[in-house]
Amino acid sequence: MSISDKNENLLIKAEAGKDLTREDIIALLKLPFKYSAALYLAADRVRKQQMGDEIFLRGIIEFSNHCERNCLYCGLRKGNTNLSRYRMTEDEILATAAQIKKTGVPTVVLQSGEDSFFSQDIVCRLIERIRKETDLIITLSIGERSLNDYQAFQHAGANRYLLKHETASRELYKYLRPGCDWENRLQCLRHLKQLGFETGTGNMVGLPGQTQEILADDLLVMKLLNADMLGIGPFIAHPDTPLAGIDNDDIELTLRVLAVARLLTRNTNIPATTALATLHPQGRLLALQAGANVVMPDFTPEIYKSRYDIYPGRADVGSAVEIISRLEKDFQSIGRTLLYSPGHRPN
């Protein structure tokens, strides 16, 4: 078989949902550039077949930029003394959740640094109030916590949890997240799955030292965990971190990982991340045509938004309502519509 037949056959096998080996995944990530469009189209067809043409919305509130961790890649790391820190009050968070509800967006994502000020009790009270006062579906993204915390959050009414594994390489993980243990992160993810959370994991693409083999392992972690949601975004260097200046302008590689994730996991919810939109003006639309089916408009109040400085230049200026109406026009241009429904992972 010629090499081009081999590549064609691999794409056909991936689109048909046949089991992909690690070697297959590596080969898909390394396909010559001329196959990129075919790869994205295959992922786009699988997205359509499995998830339909609607784009699901999740409203995000970044309620605290305090963080006790020191991840080398992140502007919220505790070693960044240039950042002005904030915590939203419970009432501010509730008012923002009410705004999300008013806009018709059915899900709120509560995200923060790892901030122990938000104890189990405080988080549970917050969840209970949001459930009672808005009835929104609640996704938490507040990092590694104990099994007991996760149980309490669920009991209080949280439905979903996002905890990206960040990288499948134990060595890279150890270097990038000083004092953290990869196994512990995986244990957290298993706990969340076992408790019945709709669980999201994911990675960053373009990290220093990352190889296609490591990216293939990332995709296998997503598959083996049977994750329900996958956050796949480019690494963007922050000037106030030890990784300052390591520029990543490779949107193509992130789109490839996203497309392969769709082919491999079939019916997962995959956002077109803000990081992709930040890296490239068309980043979000390109992702939505390469397998993605979710967008997460940022509802964090203006006074705090710019201080949630995980990476620089975050896209999306203006209020969330303005952002959604801009997105709506963009999406119509590619034959897709916004759907104001919860968007659970289909069985």
**62 scored as a contact of ligand SF4 (CB under 6 A):** no
Cα–Cα distances (Å) from 316 to 38, 140, 192, 299, in that order, read: 30, 22, 31, 11
Q: Considering beta carbons, is residue 58 or 69 the nearer one to ligand SF4? A: 69
CB of 229 to ligand SAH, least distance (A): 12
* Length of the chain as a residue count: 347
CA angle 275, 276, 281 (to 5 degrees): 115
Give me the residue label for tokens 């995980």: 310
Edge-to-edge strands of the sheet including 294-295? 294-295, 54-57, 337-339
Q: Tell me if 77 contacts ligand SF4 by CB under 6 A.
A: yes
For ligand SF4, the binding residues in 139-158 under the rule CB under 6 A are: 143
- Binding footprint of ligand SF4, residue count (CB under 6 A): 9
Looking at 27-35, 72-80, 191-199, 275-283, which segment touches ligand SF4 (CB under 6 A)?
A: 72-80
Q: Is 238 in the site for ligand SF4 (CB under 6 A)?
A: no
Query: For strand 160-162 and strand 137-141, is the pairing parallel, antiparallel, or unpaired?
Result: parallel
**Would you say 47 or 177 has its CB closer to ligand SAH?**
177
Which element (helix H / strand E) includes 56? strand 54-57
Collapse the DSSP code of 111 into the 3-class scheme (helix H, G, I; strand E, B; otherwise coil) and give the result. strand
What, of ligand SF4, ligand SAH, none, does residue 77 touch, CB below 5 to 8 Å by kind?
ligand SF4
In whole angstroms, what is the distance from residue 98 CA to residue 131 CA? 11
Return the number of the residue (259 or 296) whose C-beta is nearest ligand SF4.
296
Half-sphere exposure of 30 (CA within 13 A, CB side): 13
Residue 133: helix, strand or coil by DSSP?
A: helix
Q: What is the DSSP letter of 273?
A: -
**Site for ligand SAH, rule CB under 6 A:** 73-74, 111, 113-114, 141, 143, 163-164, 166, 204, 233, 235-236, 238, 275, 310-311
Which residue carries 């509800």 as its tokens? 101
User: In whole angstroms, how close is the CB of 300 to ligand SAH at the nearest point?
Assistant: 12
For residue 77, the minimal CB distance to ligand SF4 (Å) is 4
Using alpha carbons only, give the angle 192, 197, 200 rounded to the nearest 5 degrees. 75
260/203 Cα distance (integer angstroms)? 13
Which of 114, 218, 298, 316 is the binder for ligand SF4 (CB under 6 A)?
114
In the complex, least distance from residue 70 CB atom to ligand SF4, rounded to whole angstroms: 6
- Contact residue for ligand SF4 among 71, 126, 163, 286 (CB under 6 A): 71
Using the minimum distance from each CB to ligand SAH, give the nearer residue, 163 or 257: 163
The stretch near ligand SF4 (CB under 6 A) out of 68-76, 267-275, 276-284, 330-338 is 68-76
- Note the residues at the interface with ligand SF4 (CB under 6 A): 67, 69, 71, 74, 76-77, 113-114, 143
